[in-house]
Structure 1
């Protein structure tokens, strides 16, 4: 965007040379992105009269990058934002002043972000966000539970993020479990046992049964063209709808870059979809235990990935345990990295993401609480306690991703609330 006769930043600005420089920079950024991002367009608009033709050609894209090369670009920028397509204004120092209008647009609910920087590499996070949101829209979530009638939450999540949720009972999964290759399951079980520090309550047959369920889950995902599944595991196992707990299956899925989430919790599932597609690391769904006397939060659950840094990373040490609440089946006790900064996140509803940070300081042992327990030091445990909302579960992700999630919220149209 540039007005016909530049004044600011200087009257002799070579607009075409500026465009060529940006094109060259974008080609370099594209190679560094790590996500399949393609650029198209590259048009120059100079007046409001240029806008109808330009706007007609951008409706099939995932996002818009706008560069204001001069002052007085508002007549071009405002119609672009009004399309409703996630838009990022990259405002280099000594370009235009349109960055000053973005905050007001955001308060109006517009899907717009601004980057004011001399380093074009600062575009990398938003390019990854565009890619993650596109992949989210292509996502098909399988949710196995007793009731198959969609509730308002499922409809809201589908409408907000463009994904698809299929509700189903356990019959297909159980049929696939019965057909699972016992020899292959035994081989996977032996490898899983060999990789553990030790195995306490379960026996080898229990682990084989868990691997048969993992094979059945993989077959179900393949049948429906999905990579994401969540199951009412506690209720299903109690009702004998499930032949085994899916804890190990979720460990294996999350280690491989796919997604398995506990308890048919769809807000946690979509939270993991959004962040895992953005950062390439799985989440750990937890039941938080708050201790205001030490300003800590213990996160406990019987399911965790061992590759918390992503599929290509080394596995954290783990012990094979039973599911704590009934001492049955197979679960995993993972020792997470002490000293690791973490992001804690959870969609409270389709329009609100709760987020905070902490640091892992311990992996406590003891009979109380789920098998994997992680103690995190936080800034204000009392505030978390008294402002808590959005259901019990939270998800831990290795690293500090607050800035990226805030950008994602502004571009996807959900509010990001810092809990602490």
Structure 2
């Protein structure tokens, strides 16, 4: 099995000041915490809230011990501050410029009604974010990093940053090399390396052929592929409508791909030339194999399209769910059809959706799943552009899973924006779709890599 998502390391910090009364003059700022006793009570309150935050997280989250300080400059020398991915700053009082100097992703939690009022409820915008001007002035920080009272607002921001951590600086095996749909060679893969820090590990078809031939000669590997086929077909929600040999060969290819990823120490793989090159080598299509890998927690993409692959990396990092890479069609009457010959079945991370195992459509060869995605399911669609500058987000609802003469896994989704607006704003080609609504998280993460995110509807 692949390694789990990396935990997001969060360092909570409580900033406060102690004031002494002075006669006949102002001696304190706004707020309800002015003494050590009040600060100690607030520390205890925060610690209990952090336990609840940890328990409610649906992503890997590692909370460091809370630090309470009257001097934010001391934080720079602390090991758990330096190793943190994110600072969760309880901005009661004190110097936030010292927080900004740490150059860490930061979420500011401020109390209005959830406890004693914080000073920064009044001044975080004019004094800190705008630095006494009319425009935002602090690099890497803006109004979306401020949360008032609500921990669910903290949680989705942390979820976004966990996704970003798990999308950055990752390795992916590219069978047949890296590509990009209809784009000049190498341009997009180089952009992906620059923006996301992705290590693209080229793996030739010649080497793949050697491994497949070795697997066919391995009685244990062949036996295991047949056994896994038997187990898969016991599922009452699966019907086989292609030659069984294609499905057995898909399981054998799955065995080979897992070994390749293990040797490369990564959990992602993509295939260039999946529409033809791999078929005579594997004696099946790769569609079913990719579906199996995605259901087991890997990230496996067809077509080696590095225009859209980062969107799958990010969405999976955010949600922990397998994404569906697909071809969009043309929007009309509030509906658009999305389709591809491979799709995960365990789209909600738990149960497998029903599936018909057919041939790959264009070749009428191999094994490809027609996954019957559930009607009424809300989905997040991310539409990346070719230049990695502007991505579009579209919330949709699955309203049908038809059986048209197109790629096998297919859905009609309903959206709420204007048809022409969607047609005008659609960039790139391939889309990435995932169960659930993760548009907020996607946009929050993308601004940290310099990609604009436009949500339609």
TM-score band, normalised by shorter chain: 0.7 to 0.9
Structure 1 residues 419 and 194, CA gap change in structure 2 (3 angstroms): same
Q: How many residues align?
A: 407
Structure 1 residues 315 and 36, CA gap change in structure 2 (3 angstroms): closer
Q: Alpha carbon RMSD of aligned pairs, Å? A: 2.7
The answer to whether the 8 Å contact 2:87/2:107 transfers is yes
Deviation, structure 1 residue 418: 1.5
**Quick check: 1:61 aligned with 2:84?**
yes
The answer to whether the 8 Å contact 1:142/1:166 transfers is yes
The answer to whether the 8 Å contact 1:342/1:399 transfers is yes
Deviation, structure 1 residue 43: 3.3
Which residue, 147, 169, 173 being the options, matches 1:116? 147
Q: Distance in 1 between matches of 2:244 and 2:89?
A: 58
Other structure's SS at 1:319 match: strand
Deviation, structure 1 residue 329: 1.2
Q: Distance in 2 between matches of 1:19 and 1:87?
A: 19
Structure 1 stretch 137-146 or stretch 376-385: which is displaced more? 137-146
> Which residue does 2:206 correspond to in 1?
171
Structure 1 residues 262 and 419, CA gap change in structure 2 (3 angstroms): farther
Structure 1 residues 275 and 253, CA gap change in structure 2 (3 angstroms): same
Q: Distance in 2 between matches of 1:136 and 1:338?
A: 29
**Quick check: 1:360 aligned with 2:398?**
yes
The answer to whether the 8 Å contact 2:268/2:298 transfers is yes
Structure 1 stretch 76-85 or stretch 108-117: which is displaced more? 108-117
Other structure's SS at 2:63 match: coil
The residue correspondences of 1:303-382 to structure 2 (distance < 5 A) are: 303-310=342-349, 313-348=350-385, 349-367=387-405, 369-379=406-416, 380-382=418-420
> Which residue does 1:126 correspond to in 2?
157
Deviations 1:155-208 (A, max 9, x none): 3323333342222322332222222211111122233334354232x2111111
> Which residue does 1:36 correspond to in 2?
60
Q: Distance in 2 between matches of 1:194 and 1:278?
A: 32
Deviations 1:213-272 (A, max 9, x none): 111111111111111111113355279565432111111111111110110012322211
Structure 1 stretch 296-305 or stretch 128-137: which is displaced more? 128-137
Unaligned runs of 5+ in 2: 1-14, 20-27, 216-220
**Quick check: 1:199 aligned with 2:243?**
no
Structure 1 stretch 57-66 or stretch 355-364: which is displaced more? 57-66
Unaligned runs of 5+ in 1: none
TM-score, with structure 1 as normaliser: 0.87
Q: Distance in 1 between matches of 2:380 and 2:271?
A: 24
Deviation, structure 1 residue 3: 4.0
> Which residue does 1:7 correspond to in 2?
29
Deviation, structure 1 residue 395: 1.3
Which residue, 174, 178, 185 being the options, matches 1:143? 174
The answer to whether the 8 Å contact 2:178/2:304 transfers is no
The residue correspondences of 1:198-217 to structure 2 (distance < 5 A) are: 198-200=239-241, 202-217=242-257
Q: Distance in 1 between matches of 2:378 and 2:271?
A: 29
| Structure showing greater Rg | 2
> Which residue does 1:416 correspond to in 2?
453
> Which residue does 2:109 correspond to in 1?
90
The answer to whether the 8 Å contact 1:209/1:244 transfers is yes
